Amino acid sequence: MKYVFLLTLFYALEVKSQTASNRKIAEIESNIFVQLNEYRNKHGLHSVTADTTISRIARLHARYLAIASEKGHNAHHDKLPHDEQFDIPNYHELNFEQRSILASHKNISCEISIQRDPMLPNQSIKEFAIQTIKAFDSSPSHKEVMLMNDVRGIIDLVGIAVVKHDTKNELYEHFAVNIDFGYYQIEKK
Provide mean pLDDT across the span 120-126. Answer: 91
List pLDDT tens digits, range 126-177. Answer: 999 999 999 999 999 889 888 887 545 577 899 999 998 876 656 788 888 9
Instruction: Inform me whether the pLDDT recorded for 85 exceeds 80.
Output: no
Query: What pLDDT score does 187 carry?
Result: 52
| Amino acid of residue 43 | H
Give the 3-state DSSP-derived string for the chain, with helices as H, strands as E and coil as C: CHHHHHHHHHHHHHHHHHHHHHHHHHHHHHHHHHHHHHHHHHCCCCCCEECHHHHHHHHHHHHHHHHHHHCCCCCCCCCCCHHHCCCECCECCCCHHHHHHCCHHHCCCEEEEEEEEEECCCCCHHHHHHHHHHHHHCCHHHHHHHCCCCCCCCCCEEEEEEEECCCCCCCCEEEEEEEEEECCCCCCC
List pLDDT tens digits, range 14-71. Answer: 445 557 788 899 999 999 999 999 999 999 888 899 999 999 989 988 888 887 776 5
What's the CA gap between 29 and 180, in Å, rounded? 13
Query: What pLDDT score does 81 carry?
Result: 43
Q: In Å, how far are 11, 35, 47, 177 from 38, measured between CA atoms?
A: 41, 5, 8, 18
Stronger pLDDT, 42 or 110, i.e. the higher one? 42
Q: Which range has the top average pLDDT, 74-78, 94-98, 159-163?
A: 159-163
